C-alpha cells in the first residue's frame, strides 16, 4: 500500500490539472450547493482493482466530509457490474472529482489486470512476471503497486536503486567483464548488479566475473533453456523482449526466474470503471 503522504502530491496535481482556474463550472451552475448524492464506482468489465486509494483520495481532498466506503479492495477480482466503492455526500465535489478518480483507478486497474493476464499465462511455472521502468511519467509508484496487486513483482524503481548494465554500457566500458568490474568497484554493499546479455558468450563472460542477475534479452526458449543451465543458480535469470500471453508460457518453461514486460505498464488498456448515481 502506498503511503498517503506519497499519494497526496500526485492526486492533488491531477485535481489541479482538471479543475484549472475556475473549477467545475458546470456543476457550480447546474447543481444546487446543497444537493446530496450517493455514487458508486462500478466495474464495467471483469478485472483486477488497483488504484482505489488515490482515486478515493481525490474525493476526500475535495470534500473531507464525504462518506467513502470500499466495497472491493485493491487487488480484488471484480466481475462486470460489481460495485467497487461508494461515495456519499455533497453532489458538487463528487462530480468534480469523478473524472480524476476514474482516470486513476481505471488506468491502474488496467495495469493490474494486464499483469494478471500474464501471471495466469505462466501459472504452474516458477517464473514471476516483473515490470520495467517503461512506466507513465509521474505515476511510477502507482503503477509499480498495480503490478504487485496483479500478482507481478517489481523491477528497480529508478536509475538509482540498483545497477542494470545494458548493451550501451558494455560497449562504452569495453566489454562485459570490464563493465562488471567497474560496477562492482562502485556499488555499495546493498546494491545489486544485473547485466543484460544478448549471447551465451556474454553470459559466460558475466558468470566468470560474477553477477547478481542476468537479463537475457530477446532469446528464444531453447537458448533461454541453455542460459538457465549455464547459470546454474549462480544468478537470477530474467527473460525480456516482446512478451505476450502467447509467448510467455514457453519462456517460463525454459526455467527462467523472471519474465519482464514493458507492455503491462506502457500499453495496458484501462479497465473500464464508471461512476453511477444510486
Residues 81-140 contacting a copy of itself, CB under 8 A: 91, 93, 95-96, 99-100, 102-104, 106-107, 110, 130, 133-140
Residue of 167, 191, 190, 189 whose CA lies nearest to 179: 167
Q: Are 132 and 265 in contact (CB under 8 A)?
A: yes
Specify whether 166 is catalytic.
Answer: yes
The widest CA-to-CA distance across the chain, in whole angstroms, is 73
Contact positions with a copy of itself (CB under 8 A) in 3-42: 3, 5-6, 10, 12-33, 35, 37
Specify whether 8 is catalytic.
Answer: no
Our finding on whether 214 is near a copy of itself (CB under 8 A) is: no
Report the alpha-carbon angle 248-235-186, nearest 5: 120
Choose the catalytic residue: 8, 38, 198, 217.
217
Which lies closer to a copy of itself via its Cβ, residue 68 or residue 191? 191
Choose the catalytic residue: 44, 86, 128, 134.
134
Contact positions with a copy of itself (CB under 8 A) in 232-271: 236, 238, 257-258, 263, 266-270
Among 83, 125, 156, 226, binds a copy of itself (CB under 8 A): 156
Which lies closer to a copy of itself via its Cβ, residue 198 or residue 212? 212
Q: What are phi and psi of 53, to 5 degrees?
A: -55, -55
Rounded to an integer, what distance in angstroms lies between the CA atom of residue 39 and that of residue 74?
A: 19
Place of cell 490539472: 17
The residues, ordered by sequence, that sit 6+ positions from 109 with a Cβ below 8 Å of its Cβ are 47, 48, 49, 50, 51, 146, 270, 271, 273
Among 80, 186, 234, 245, binds a copy of itself (CB under 8 A): 186
Residue of 278, 43, 4 whose CA lies nearest to 141: 4
Choose the catalytic residue: 44, 83, 99, 128.
99
Choose the catalytic residue: 53, 196, 238, 257.
196
Rounded to an integer, what distance in angstroms lies between the CA atom of residue 24 and that of residue 16?
A: 11
Min dist CB 197 to a copy of itself, Å, is 15
Which lies closer to a copy of itself via its Cβ, residue 154 or residue 222? 154
Which residues are known catalytic residues? 99, 134, 166, 196, 217
Amino acid at each position: 500500500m502506498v503511503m498517503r503522504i506519497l499519494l497526496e502530491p500526485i492526486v492533488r496535481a491531477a485535481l489541479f490539472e482538471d479543475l484549472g482556474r475556475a473549477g467545475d463550472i458546470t456543476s457550480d451552475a447546474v447543481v444546487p450547493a446543497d444537493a446530496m448524492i450517493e455514487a458508486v464506482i462500478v466495474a464495467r468489465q471483469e478485472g483486477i482493482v488497483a488504484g482505489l486509494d488515490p482515486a478515493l483520495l481525490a474525493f476526500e481532498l475535495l470534500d473531507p466530509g464525504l462518506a467513502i466506503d470500499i466495497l472491493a479492495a485493491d487487488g480484488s477480482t471484480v466481475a462486470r457490474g460489481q460495485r467497487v466503492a461508494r461515495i456519499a455526500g455533497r453532489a458538487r465535489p463528487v462530480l468534480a472529482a469523478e473524472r480524476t478518480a476514474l482516470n486513476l483507478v481505471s488506468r491502474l486497474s488496467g495495469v493490474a489486470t494486464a499483469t494478471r493476464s500474464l501471471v495466469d499465462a505462466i501459472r504452474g511455472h516458477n517464473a514471476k512476471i516483473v515490470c520495467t521502468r517503461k512506466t507513465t511519467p509521474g505515476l511510477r509508484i502507482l503503477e509499480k503497486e498495480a503490478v504487485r496487486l496483479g500478482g507481478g513483482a517489481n523491477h528497480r524503481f529508478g536509475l538509482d536503486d540498483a545497477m542494470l548494465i545494458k548493451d550501451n554500457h558494455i560497449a562504452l566500458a569495453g566489454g562485459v567483464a570490464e563493465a562488471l568490474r567497474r560496477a562492482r568497484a562502485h556499488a555499495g554493499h546493498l546494491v545489486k548488479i544485473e547485466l543484460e546479455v544478448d549471447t551465451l558468450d556474454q553470459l559466460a563472460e558475466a558468470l566468470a566475473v560474477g553477477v547478481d542477475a542476468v537479463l537475457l534479452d530477446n532469446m528464444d526458449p531453447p537458448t533461454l533453456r541453455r542460459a538457465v543451465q549455464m547459470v546454474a543458480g549462480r544468478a537470477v535469470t530474467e527473460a525480456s523482449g516482446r512478451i505476450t500471453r502467447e509467448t510467455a508460457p514457453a519462456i517460463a518453461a525454459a526455467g527462467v526466474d523472471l519474465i519482464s514486460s514493458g507492455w503491462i505498464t506502457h500499453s495496458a488498456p484501462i479497465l473500464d470503471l464508471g461512476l453511477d448515481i444510486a
